[in-house]
Structure 1
C-alpha cells in the first residue's frame, strides 16, 4: 500500500483516551502518545513517549523497549544526568567505572495534558528526582503538520520548555561530559526499529555515515532505514530550531538520533531560567536523496516550530 492509494486526503484527527493520544490521517494512525505507563520498571525512567510513529503508508519508524536498551522509548525527551538524577533510564555512567546501577533514576510525571483546537497536544510535566524532589517543570507540545500525500510525508512538530526549581543552578550532562568518549546523548531522542540498523545517515554539512557525523554540527540530519515484513524504506529528517547542534547518531549498534543538548559541555540553567527547544521531524515513505530533502526544506514545506 502506498500513501497515494490509501485514501490519506483527510486532515489529521486527534483523539484522547485515558493516558493516550492518537493521531490519525485517513485510515492510518501516524502517531500514538503515552503519558503514563506504570508497567514500565522504575529503573527505566517512567516518562511520556511517542510510539508507534508511522509513515503515511503505515510503516512503523520507532522502536520501544528493545532488548539491548530497555529504557529506549520510541521518541522522547531523556537526559542522563540532571541535578544528581538519571532521566535517561538504565545504569549511569561513572568515569573510571563504566555504567553502574546507582539507584539514581528519576521519573517524568504528567500533571495534565489537553488537545488544543488546532490539534496541538500540550502537556504539563514534572521531572522528579530519585529522591522524590522536583527538579524541572516542563511544558511539552507536539502536533502532526504538513501532511503531503503526494510526496508521501508528514511533519512532527515538537517543542519543550524546561524551567528549573529551587535556588541553585541545574546542569544537563551527557556521558561524554562525564568522561565517556563519543557518548554525548542528551535530550530529544529517537530510537528506530531494529530493521533500521545499518541505515544510511546523511546531513546538511555534506558528511555521510553515523561514524563521520558523531559529535559534528549540521543544520539537519537524515536517517534512511528499510522495513522488515513490508517492502520499502522510510526517511526521517531531523531539523532542530536555532543553531546547528552537535549530533549523537548511531546506526550499526542500533538506530538512534539525538541533536544533543550537552554533547561535550554541560548545559547549565540558572535558578528560574527557562530552556526552550523545538524540533521538526519529517517522516517520509521511501529512500530520499540529499537533493530531495534539500528541496523539501528549501521550499518551506516544514515551517519552523512556533511557541
Structure 2
C-alpha cells in the first residue's frame, strides 16, 4: 500500500495512507511550554481506518504528548516534563530541573512507495544550557497493510554522552516510588483507551486495573486494545522490542514494561525501571523499538502471527 509524505520545514513531517488518511504526524517544532520539556513527539497517530490512538496534553499530565522519547530522571534533570519526583516529598514543580531536546537536522531522509525512513540529529540540553548528549534518532514507517488493517513504526535511538561526567539514568522508582518506573520511549493514549485490555506473549493482564499485572515485567512485546467512543470499532497497539534490546550482551541495561490502563492509558519501554544505569563520558548506547497500529481487537495469536511476518 503506497503512502504520501509531506514535510512542513521547521514544523513537522506527516504521512498519509493511499486514501488520504493521515496516519502519522511527527512534530519537531519546539513546544512553547518549557515546563513540559521541549522535545519532538508523534501526534496525532491514527490507524488506517482513521482512529486516533495518541493523546496530547491531557488535563492530568499536560506533558504527555503522543509517542515521545523521554528520560524522567537523568543526573538530576527531568527530560520527561512536568513535576519531578523527590523521595519523601512527592511530586514537586521544579522548573530548574526541566531539560530539553534540540532538533539539529535530518541527515538522512528517504521516501519510497510504501516506506519512509529518516534520521534525526538531536542534542539533549540541561536546564542551564549545557549540552549533555547527542542523539541519532531513526524513524521508519513501513508494512502499511490494508488487508491486515495495520501499519508499523520503528523508532531507534543511539545516544552519546558528551559530558566530562557520567550520565546516570533512573526513574521515579529508582528514586523511591514503587511501580513508577516510567522513562524511555513512552506512549500516551487518548481517553477511550482508559480501561483497555493489556496482554503479553505469556501474561494476560486483563482490562482496567488488571493491566497492572504487567507493570515492571519483561517481554518481547505487549499489546493494548480498546473499544472507541463515538465510532463502532476497536484498535490494538502492539509494542515490541528488537531482539538485541533483551540480550544482556548487547543492551546497556535490561528493559521492563511500564503500563497502566487506569487511571490513565500509558505504556513505556522503560530502560531504568528498577535500577539506575550509567553511561560514561564518550560512550554510546542504543535501542530499537517497533509499534504496530492496528484496526480491530486482536488476540494473542493474531499479534504473534503479525509480528512474525515483520522481520527486524
Q: Following TM superposition, by how much is the alpha carbon of 1:117 offset from its aligned partner in structure 2, in angstroms?
A: 4.4
1:90 to 72, 82, 85: 82
**TM-score, length of structure 2 as denominator length:** 0.91
Match of 1:87, SS? Answer: coil
2:144 to 144, 147, 166: 147
Residue matched to 2:109: 115
Q: Following TM superposition, by how much is the alpha carbon of 1:295 offset from its aligned partner in structure 2, in angstroms?
A: 1.3
Superposition map of 1:153-164 within 5 A? 153-164=150-161
What is the rounded CA distance, in whole Å, between the counterparts of 2:218 and 2:278 in structure 1? 20
| Contact map agreement 1:205 1:219 (CA 8 A) in 2 | no
How many residues align? The count is 292
Is residue 214 of structure 2 the alignment partner of residue 213 of structure 1?
yes
Deviates more, 1:117-126 or 1:280-289: 117-126
Residue matched to 2:42: 50
| Contact map agreement 1:109 1:127 (CA 8 A) in 2 | yes
What is the rounded CA distance, in whole Å, between the counterparts of 1:167 and 1:64 in structure 2? 36
Is residue 170 of structure 2 the alignment partner of residue 173 of structure 1?
yes
| Contact map agreement 1:86 1:106 (CA 8 A) in 2 | yes
| Contact map agreement 2:120 2:137 (CA 8 A) in 1 | yes
What is the rounded CA distance, in whole Å, between the counterparts of 1:240 and 1:135 in structure 2? 26
Residue matched to 2:200: 203
Q: Following TM superposition, by how much is the alpha carbon of 1:291 offset from its aligned partner in structure 2, in angstroms?
A: 1.0
| Contact map agreement 1:116 1:122 (CA 8 A) in 2 | no
Q: Following TM superposition, by how much is the alpha carbon of 1:131 offset from its aligned partner in structure 2, in angstroms?
A: 1.2
Q: 1:147 to 1:263 in 2, by over 3 A?
A: same
Q: Following TM superposition, by how much is the alpha carbon of 1:135 offset from its aligned partner in structure 2, in angstroms?
A: 1.2
Residue matched to 1:292: 302
Q: Following TM superposition, by how much is the alpha carbon of 1:208 offset from its aligned partner in structure 2, in angstroms?
A: 1.8
Q: Following TM superposition, by how much is the alpha carbon of 1:140 offset from its aligned partner in structure 2, in angstroms?
A: 0.8
Is residue 52 of structure 2 the alignment partner of residue 60 of structure 1?
yes
**TM-score, length of structure 1 as denominator length:** 0.92
Q: Following TM superposition, by how much is the alpha carbon of 1:212 offset from its aligned partner in structure 2, in angstroms?
A: 0.5
**Deviations 1:137-175 (CA, angstroms, capped at 9, x unpaired):** 111111211111111001111111111112221111100
What is the rounded CA distance, in whole Å, between the counterparts of 1:166 and 1:37 in structure 2? 23
| Contact map agreement 2:245 2:287 (CA 8 A) in 1 | no
5+ long unaligned stretches in structure 1: 1-8
Q: 1:231 to 1:37 in 2, by over 3 A?
A: farther
Q: Following TM superposition, by how much is the alpha carbon of 1:205 offset from its aligned partner in structure 2, in angstroms?
A: 2.5
Q: Following TM superposition, by how much is the alpha carbon of 1:121 offset from its aligned partner in structure 2, in angstroms?
A: 2.2
Is residue 234 of structure 2 the alignment partner of residue 233 of structure 1?
yes
Residue matched to 1:6: none
Deviates more, 1:18-27 or 1:277-286: 18-27
5+ long unaligned stretches in structure 2: 247-254
Match of 1:293, SS? Answer: helix
**Deviations 1:188-227 (CA, angstroms, capped at 9, x unpaired):** 0000001110000000122323210000111100000222
Residue matched to 1:5: none
| Contact map agreement 2:133 2:163 (CA 8 A) in 1 | no
Is residue 311 of structure 2 the alignment partner of residue 303 of structure 1?
yes
Residue matched to 1:38: 31
Find runs of 4+ consecutive structure 1 residues off by over 3 angstroms.
Answer: none
